[in-house]
Amino acid sequence: MIVLAAAAVFLTFQTFAASRTPLPFIPKAVQKAEEGHAKVMRRNHMNLMFHKRDQTVRKGIRTDLNSLKGCVACHAVPGPDKQPVSFESPQHFCRACHDYAAVRIDCFSCHTSKPPGGEDLAVK
Ligand code: HEC
Ligand code: HEC
Ligand code: HEC
């Protein structure tokens, strides 16, 4: 009985704690990705992009795999005007977790944070 009561108190506390912890809101991508992408990216996106950058800048290899353009295109988030928001907006995909985790990146001082061509997501 005591064990059960303790478990109940613990569970109640857990539920309480869980509902009190704010989590980042991560917007959905506009297209599907390959199996396992989300899991790999959650853990390793920075390393994959750094690796890709080095391949491009040092070896001239330019492919779509792990390209920053690809990330911002498929992870485009429509703003109030239905156009993809830029990194200026807290709604931008790349800020969803970073603002939450206080991570700062300078990538978009050179790279565009919008899908190339600034496609209208409404037509997709
Ligand atoms: C062709 C579409 C596509 C491309 C390109 C793409 N992603 Fe994704 N990504 C997805 C989908 C689909 C998911 C699963 C969650 C969802 O539906 O939004 C996802 C999930 C993620 C997640 C986990 C988000 C979460 O909910 O926890 C991260 C981080 C991520 N992607 C980063 C990247 C980065 C960085 C790049 C570029 C190197 C990239 N993605 C390129 C479609 C894409
Ligand atoms: C000072 C400007 C600058 C900054 C800041 C910068 N980059 Fe780049 N990046 C470049 C240039 C220039 C290239 C080479 C483009 C080419 O030759 O095609 C490049 C290439 C890349 C590529 C390979 C091309 C592609 O899209 O596949 C990736 C990936 C990349 N950068 C990621 C990043 C990431 C991630 C950050 C932030 C951590 C970042 N860059 C910050 C200038 C910059
Ligand atoms: C699912 C949450 C999440 C999303 C979405 C996300 N990031 Fe991250 N990112 C993180 C976390 C957490 C870290 C810090 C990891 C660490 O310090 O070990 C990080 C770190 C980074 C770093 C390394 C920063 C440094 O100084 O070492 C880069 C570059 C980066 N993210 C780029 C991006 C880009 C570009 C996007 C959008 C395409 C993006 N991230 C989307 C969670 C995310």
Asked whether residue 57 is assigned to any structural domain, the reply reads yes
Specify the DSSP class assigned to residue 5. H
8-46 per-position pLDDT tens digit: 555 554 445 556 778 899 999 999 999 999 999 999 999
pLDDT of the residue at 116: 84
Q: Is residue 99 part of a domain?
A: yes
Domain that holds residue 103: 25-123
More confident residue, 124 or 45: 45
- The pair of three-digit structure tokens given for residue 15, joined into one six-digit string: 């539920």
What's the pLDDT at 117? 74
* pTM reported for the whole predicted model: 0.88
**How far from 71 is each of 3, 19, 33, 109, 113, CA to CA, in Å?**
49, 31, 11, 16, 9
Residue 117 lies in a domain: yes
For residues 7 and 74, which has the higher predicted lDDT (pLDDT)?
74
Ligand found nearest the CA of 68: 2
**Ligand 1 atom index nearest CA of 27:** 18
**pLDDT reading at 103 higher than 90:** yes
| Structural domain count, the chain | 1
* Cα 68 to ligand 1 centroid, rounded to whole Å: 11
Ligand 2 pocket test target in 52, 67, 94, 107 with most atoms within 8 Å of CB: 107
Domain contains 6:
no
Residue 17 belongs to some domain of the structure: no
What pLDDT, on the 0 to 100 scale, is given for residue 7? 58
Q: Of 103, 108, 109, which is best to mutate to test ligand 3, by the most ligand atoms within 8 angstroms of its C-beta?
A: 103
Does 1 reside within a domain? no
In a domain, 20, yes or no: no
**pLDDT value at residue 124:** 39
Q: Which ligand is nearest to the CA of 69?
A: 2
The reply to whether 73 falls in a domain is yes
Banded model confidence at residue 110, pLDDT cuts 50, 70, 90: very high
CB of 79 within 6 A of ligand 1: the answer is no
Rounded-to-integer distance, Cα 70 and Cα 66, Å: 7
- Tens of pLDDT, residues 49-92: 999 999 999 999 998 889 999 999 999 999 999 999 999 999 99
Separation in Å, CA 75 to CA 28, 34, 47, 82, 91: 7, 14, 18, 14, 11
- pLDDT over 70 at 3, yes or no: no
